[in-house]
Amino acid sequence: MKFSTKSRYALRLMAELARYAPGTTVPLKEISERQNLSLKYLEQIVTPLARIGLVKSERGSQGGYRLTKAPADYTAGEILRAIEGSVAPIPCLGSETNECPMSEQCFTLPFWSGLDDVINQYIDSVTLEQLARSLPSASDGCCGCNSKN
């Protein structure tokens, strides 16, 4: 399973916001520069995060974005789901009810369901506070790969 660039950047954006004192508003331009990410792309990423209330925007000369709760109260899972929607490894597990007409006789469904459980348990166990503590400087790259992707 691969997560999109938007998801990876969303985690970096949120971790950057978590570095600041509670209630501090940070301009996207500052995050863009610190993380060496496109400002235009960050603007697209922050929209769904704001829409569901994970971040709040402030207008004006002191404007920018801030977290709406403490970093320890966010999980990587809720951030990823805000960007990706379902993180299920196969489409038939992506909604509350399995609409697949073959689900009753699908012998691989238990495997995929187990993998889905493991993925969700892990991403829901990692907090934004943990991510922010291990966030490298912008010059180190996102994950040791020294790549913008």
**How many Cα neighbours within 13 Å face the side chain of 38?**
9
| Amino acid present at 52 | I
Q: Give the pLDDT confidence score for residue 61 in this predicted structure.
A: 80
Name the residue with higher pLDDT: 137 or 52: 52
| Amino acid present at 27 | P
**pLDDT over 90 for what percent of the chain?**
69
* 54: exposed, middle or buried (Cβ count in 10 Å: 0-12, 13-18, 19+): buried
Q: Give the pLDDT confidence score for residue 137 in this predicted structure.
A: 53
Going by pLDDT thresholds of 50, 70 and 90, the confidence category of residue 144 is: very low
Q: Give the pLDDT confidence score for residue 139 in this predicted structure.
A: 44
Name every residue whose Cβ is closer than 8 Å to that of residue 104 and which is 6 or more positions away in sequence: none
| Amino acid present at 40 | K
User: Could you give the angle at the alpha carbon of 12 between the alpha carbons of 133 and 140, nearest 5°?
Assistant: 75
The widest CA-to-CA distance across the chain, in whole angstroms, is 60
Q: Give the pLDDT confidence score for residue 136 in this predicted structure.
A: 65
> Does position 55 have pLDDT exceeding 80, yes or no?
yes
73-109 as b/e: b if 16+ CB within 10 A: ebbbbbbbbbbeeebbbbebbeeeebeeeeeeebeeb
